[in-house]
Amino acid sequence: MLFDVYGDTAIYQWIGMIVVLLALIGLNELERRTKVGGLTVFVGACAAMTVYCIAVEVGAAMGAEWALNNPTHTDMNSWFHYAKVYAATAGCIGFMMLKYSWTKIGRSQWFKCFPFVIVAINIMIAVVSDFESAVRAFGTTWVSSEGVVLYGGWHNVFNGIAGILNIFCMTGWFGIYISKKRQDMLWPDMTWVFIIAYDLWNFCYTYNCLPTHSWYCGVALLLAPTIAGLIWNKGGWIQNRAFTLATWCMFCQVCPMFVNDSIFAAQSVNNPDVNLVVASLALIANIAALAYILYRAKKLGVNPWTHEVFVGTKDFVKAMGRRESAENVLATTPKSATPEELARLEAAHK
C-alpha cells in the first residue's frame, strides 16, 4: 500500500481527496473560462496570501507567540513551498497574457517559448529538492525545516534524473495557440506521452519529498488537470496544471493544517524501498517517452523542440481543431497590436 489510508479515518481521507479533486476541477473551469476568475485568483488571492505570509514571518521574527505557532510558519517555511507557489502563479499569469494577447509581450513570437521555460523552472525546483534529500541523507533520514522525516537515497537520484529527462520531453516549444473564445492557451504537441511521463515523475517527487502532502498533491492535484486535459480540454493540459497547482499551493500556504493535522490528513508509508520502486517506474517512463519523441522526430526529419512532432496523431488533431479562427483572433486582438503582431497571430491560426 502506498498510503496510510485505512482504519477509522479512511472514509474521511477518501472524502477529502475526492472533494479536493472536484474543487480543483471546478475552480480550474472558473479560472480558464473568465478573465475575472483568473485575475481574482492569480493576482488578488496571491497578493492576499503574500501579505498574510509576510505578516506571519515578521511576527515570528519579532517573537510574537501567535506567529511562532502559526501553521504557515511552522509547516510551510521551506524554500521549496515559496518557490513553487510563485513560480506556478507566474506561469498562470504568463499563460493568460498569451491567450488574451495582453501587451506587446503577450503577442510576440518569442514569448511563445515562455510555457516551456516556466514549466522547466517548476520541474527543476522539484529536481533540486529531490537531489537535496540525496545529498543531505543518502541511505538514512533527515528532518526538514517543517519537521518532516525524509529518506535520502537512490530513489531521489533516479527521480531527479527522470525530472531532467521530462524537461526534454516537452516538444514544439513555439507551437502555442489561442483556443476558441480565448478560454485556453493550447499546446497541442503536449500529448498523453508527456502527460503520463510528467504525472509519474511528479507523483514520485511528492512521494519522496512531501510524504505528508502526497495524498493530495500527488493524487488529487495531478488527476484534476489530467482528467480535464484528456477528456474535454484537449491541448490545454499545461494550463490546467498551472492553474490547479497555483490554486492548491496558495491554499496550502495559508491552510496547511488541512493536509497535516486534520481528520482528512493522510501520509505515505514513507518507506525507502517503496520509494525506489516508484522512482524506477518514473525513470523508465521518461526514458521511454523521450525515446519515442526522438523516434518520431527522426521519422519526420525535424528538431523536436523547435518543431511539433505529434502532427497527425489523434490528440494533436483534436487540439488543433479547438484553435480560434484567424478572423476571430484578429477581431478580438487589442487595437494596440502592430501589423507585424497581427500577421503572426493570423498565420498561427490559419
Q: CA–CA separation, 217 vs 116, rounded Å? A: 22
Give the model confidence (pLDDT) of 298-342 as tens digits: 999 999 999 999 999 999 999 999 998 877 777 777 777 777 777
Q: CA–CA separation, 269 vs 3, rounded Å? A: 5
Amino acid 22: pLDDT: 98
Q: Which stretches of the chain score pLDDT less than 50?
A: none
Phi, psi of 150, rounded to the nearest 5 degrees:
-125, 140
Q: Which three cell numbers stand for residue 13?
A: 481521507
CB hemisphere CA count around 33 (13 angstroms): 7
The neighbour count for residue 78, using CB atoms within 10 Å, is 17
Give the model confidence (pLDDT) of 280-296 as tens digits: 999 999 999 999 999 99
Strand partners, 323: 179
Phi, psi of 179, rounded to the nearest 5 degrees:
-85, 170
Q: Which residue from 122, 142, 123, 121 is spatially nearest to 132, judged by alpha carbons? A: 142
Amino acid 250: pLDDT: 98
Length of the chain equals 350
Q: Determine the distance from the C-alpha atom of residue 268 to the mean position of all C-alpha atoms in its chain, rounded to a whole number.
A: 21
> b/e per residue, 304-328, with b = 16+ CB within 10 A?
bbebbbbbebebbeebbebbbeeee
Q: Which residue from 246, 213, 202 is spatially nearest to 86, judged by alpha carbons? A: 246
